[in-house]
Amino acid sequence: MERICLFPGTFDPITLGHVDIIERAISLFDKLVIGIGTNSSKQPMFTLEQRTGWIKEIFRNDPRLEVAAYDGLTVDYCKKINAQYILRGIRYVSDFEYEKAIADMNRMLAPDIETIFLTCAPLYSTISSTLVRDVIRNGGNADMFVPKVVKY
């Protein structure tokens, strides 16, 4: 059976921390789907097309990686694409507590889908899309936090 993993998020924008997690996770699976989820409570700074384009450009040479947009429950999308795993990145203990609650809920909804946690490299532990958006919104230079393809 092909090992398919979904890495869900808004990737608004994709950061070097996301790239670190993706690059380290790709060898663990036959296919890694970067799922850009729609969150009704969030208004993204960047369009879905921008975010999708950036990810496709960054990973254009790796056929094991796909990018897709989805809405609704993450576990329902996993079922749709036959993903047996959900990947989540962890920076701090507080991330783990939040992510574990989500993983527990997902396990109750879909016991056959396993959540995998990877910690990001220490170099990227302070980078979050929220903080990067704040830097950009306030006219700062966010180049050190995002891949070169990200234009803002």
Residue 107 appears among annotated catalytic residues: no
Residue 27 appears among annotated catalytic residues: no
Residue the block writes with tokens 């989805």: 70
- As a whole number of angstroms, the distance between CA 1 and CA 19 comes to 26
**Within 10 Å of residue 94's Cβ, how many Cβ atoms?**
9
Residue the block writes with tokens 């170099």: 123
Q: Which of 3, 42, 60, 80 is catalytic?
A: 42
Q: Which of 91, 100, 107, 133 is catalytic?
A: 91
Cα atoms found within 13 Å of the Cα of residue 31, Cβ hemisphere only? 14
Residue 18 appears among annotated catalytic residues: yes
- As a whole number of angstroms, the distance between CA 30 and CA 27 comes to 7
Catalytic residues: 18, 42, 91, 129
